Structure 1
Amino acid sequence: MTLKRNWIALIIVLIITAVIGYNYIYQDHRDIESEQAEFTMSSAQINQLFSENSTSAEQKFLNKTIEVSGFITDINSNDITIDDKVFCQFSNNLETSLNKNEKAKIKGRVIGYDDLLEQVKLDQCTIINN
């Protein structure tokens, strides 16, 4: 009789684990465009925080929505670099009238810091001003 109870308990644990795993993997995606930015700063400010202490800055900013402003130094079909300090990746191709050396304000989610290029990385970006 205890063997049957052990099998039932095992099956219940597996079902609960499967449900929790499914909900974790397939959770709703965040809509960064509609979220309120938690931080607003210049590209130089956020880059300085990461270059001085990347561990502390990651704890503060990682996976947070921020607004960054500065001058565009590189623009491609789906990314913009601001002041050579912040790399902003867009979900879709850019359809904007912005050009190099123009001031821009961009909102996105912080995904990390590239030590080699010394750039803060953002994804799911949107342009706040044109």
Structure 2
Amino acid sequence: MKRNKIYIILLVVILAAYFGYNYIYQEHRDISAETADYTINASDFIAEFINDSETAQTKYLNKTIVIHGDITAQTDNSITLNTSIFCSLLEPNTISQDTIVSMKGRCIGYDDLLEEIKLDQCTLTKINQ
């Protein structure tokens, strides 16, 4: 009888370790290949966060989003749309400022201090001249 309990405990420990390992070491998401959960204009997106940031974060957090907006600031690895949406790029930036673009990325949150919405793994989907 004691031996059966040891086997059951050992089985539970092995299963917990297996599922724990798979949970921690999940494959990374390929945001550029995913279908967007939301497609939205940058000014509407910003307005949702300004009006009720908690509800907007619940709605958009960790979702794939396509945003249409105007490039207001840029570096080699990031673009800011409409002065309030910071997009961290997967590839270096070659787009000129004051261009209207569509960016696809994953929403990672809202920074109350800087009043910026943060997106990562962003890729350019369309340039509107």
TM-score, reference length from structure 1: 0.90
Cα shift readout 1:60-113 (whole Å, capped 9, x = no counterpart): 111111111111111111110001110000133x142x1121111101011100
Cα shift readout 1:108-130 (whole Å, capped 9, x = no counterpart): 01110011111111111000123
Alignment of 1:108-127 (within 5 A): 108-127=105-124
1:22 aligns with 2:29: no
Tell me how many residue pairs correspond in the alignment: 127
Secondary structure of residue in 1 paired with 2:70? strand
Alpha-carbon contact 1:105-1:129 (below 8 Å) kept: yes
Question: 1:22 Cα shift?
Answer: 1.1
1:88 aligns with 2:87: yes
Partner of 1:47: 46
Cα shift readout 1:24-83 (whole Å, capped 9, x = no counterpart): 112222111111112111211111111211111111111111111111111111110001
1:100 aligns with 2:100: no
Structure 2: gaps spanning 5 or more residues = none
Alpha-carbon contact 1:71-1:104 (below 8 Å) kept: yes
Letter paired with 1:76 = T
